[in-house]
Amino acid sequence: MKIREDHNIRYIPYDILANILRRLPVKSLIRFQCVSKDWENLIKSPSFIRDCLHHTSRPTPLLLLSFRALTPRYRFQLLDPRSKQVLEIQNPPLIDSCRDLDIVGSCNGLVCLQVFNEKYALSLPCSSNNSGMSTSNLLLWNPTTRQFRKVPRTMEDLNARHRFGFGFSPIDNDYKIVKLKCCFAFNPAQVYSLNSGSWEEVEFENSDGKIWISSCKNVAVNGSVYWLGGKQGESDDYDFNSLVVSIDLTNLVCTSIPSPDLGSKRSRRAEIILYENKLAVLAITKSRIHLWVMEEDTCASRGRWTWTKKYTCSFCSERLYPSLLNEVTIWKNKIVYRPNGVYNEDAEGRTRFCLLDLTTNELKEFVIKNGRYDASIYTYVESHVSVAHINHREL
Partner 1 sequence: MSSSVEAITVLSSDGDEFKITVSAAKLSKPLNWMLEDVCFSDDCDEVPTIEVNSKTLVKVIEYCEKHAPRANSGASDSDAEELKKWDIEFMKMDVKDILFHILMAANYLHMEGLYDLACQTAADLMKGMTVSQIRKIFHIKNDFSSEEQEQLRRQHPGCSFD
- C-beta of 55: minimal distance to partner 1 in Å? 11
Q: Between 146 and 175, how does the x/- string for binding to partner 1 read (CB under 8 A)?
A: xx----------------------------
> Long-range pairs for 95-101 at CB < 8 Å and ≥24 separation?
96/71, 96/72, 97/73, 98/73, 98/74, 99/73, 99/134, 101/66, 101/73, 101/74
Give the binding-site size for partner 1 (rule: CB under 8 A). 38
Q: Which of 185, 216, 179, 183 is nearest to 201 (CA)?
A: 179
Nearer to partner 1, 101 or 387 (CB): 387
88 binds partner 1 (CB under 8 A): no
- Look up residue 257 and give its amino acid: I
54 touches partner 1 by CB under 8 A: no
Which residue lies nearer to partner 1 by CB, 57 or 129?
Answer: 57
Q: Which of 57, 71, 129, 391 binds partner 1 (CB under 8 A)?
A: 57
Nearest distance from residue 258's CB to partner 1, in Å? 44
What single-letter amino acid sits at 41? N
16 lies in the binding site for partner 1 (CB under 8 A): yes
From the CB of 204, what's the least distance to partner 1, in Å?
Answer: 35
Q: How far is the CB of 9 from partner 1 (least distance, A)?
A: 8
x/- map, 89-128, partner 1, by CB under 8 A = -x--------------------------------------
Query: Nearer Cβ to partner 1, position 20 or 122?
Result: 20
Site string for partner 1, 33-52 (x = CB under 8 A): xxxxxxxx------------
Does 2 sit near partner 1 (CB under 8 A)? yes
Angstrom distances, CA of residue 141 to CA of 58, 103, 122, 157: 20, 11, 25, 21
Provide the sign of the torsion angle of the four alpha carbons 274, 276, 280, 285, taken in this order. Answer: negative
Neighbours of 101 (CB within 10 A): 19
Phi-psi region of 84 (alpha: psi -120 to 50; beta: other; left: phi over 0): left
How far, CA to CA in Å, does 349 sit from each of 345, 346, 368, 375? 5, 5, 9, 13
Containing H/E element for 244? Answer: strand 243-248
Can you tell me the distance from the alpha carbon of 210 to that of 189, in angstroms, rounded to the nearest whole number? 15
Residue nearer to partner 1 on the CB measure, 5 or 348: 5
Q: Which residues bind partner 1 (CB under 8 A)?
A: 1-5, 7-10, 12-13, 16, 19-21, 23-25, 27-28, 30-40, 57, 90, 145-147, 394-395
